[in-house]
Amino acid sequence: MKYSLILTIQFLFIMSLTSFAQDLSQYRWENRIILMITPDENHSEFKQQIANLSGLDMELEDMKLVSFVVTPTKYSLGLGMDEWHESTVLYERYQQKNEEYSTLLIGLDGRVKMWSAKAVGAEGIFELINTMPMRKAELRKRKRKETND
């Protein structure tokens, strides 16, 4: 009985990790990701990062950017933090050991393109994305489409 309970708990734990990993991997090749990793929602760098990105919904969409707020015990998709999900996976995977706060940019390929222990201005993020080969290809394709219309 005790053995089956332990096995059940392990299975549920592994399934929750797998489910979460699939949630983040669903963005690969579709969206870039900004991770804001903070010890809590009141951290000053975190508040500054939210302020830097707030009101830029059209720009974020154009850049194919989705954001995650990540704390030690939960995460939320989007800047509004409307819905929280209990999980430690993102925090454990991306939190830098010597830093309280981190902003990470993950590219379409799923690789970390930028890491900062401070809040990053939106223009800096956008400029970095605009230097990426896949973004340049997106812009060329858009320009050709506009020219043909």
User: What are the structural domains of the chain?
Assistant: 28-148 (3.40.30.10)
pTM reported for the whole predicted model? 0.79
> 1 or 111: which carries more pLDDT confidence?
111
Q: What's the rounded mean pLDDT across residues 60-69? A: 95
Residue 121, C-beta contacts closer than 8 angstroms, at least 6 positions apart = 52
Alpha carbon separation from 127 to 30, 121, 122, 135, 140 (Å, rounded)? 19, 10, 9, 11, 16
Question: What share of the chain has pLDDT > 90, as a percent?
Answer: 63
DSSP 31-52: -EEEEEE-SSTT-HHHHHHHHH
Q: What is the pLDDT of residue 1?
A: 55
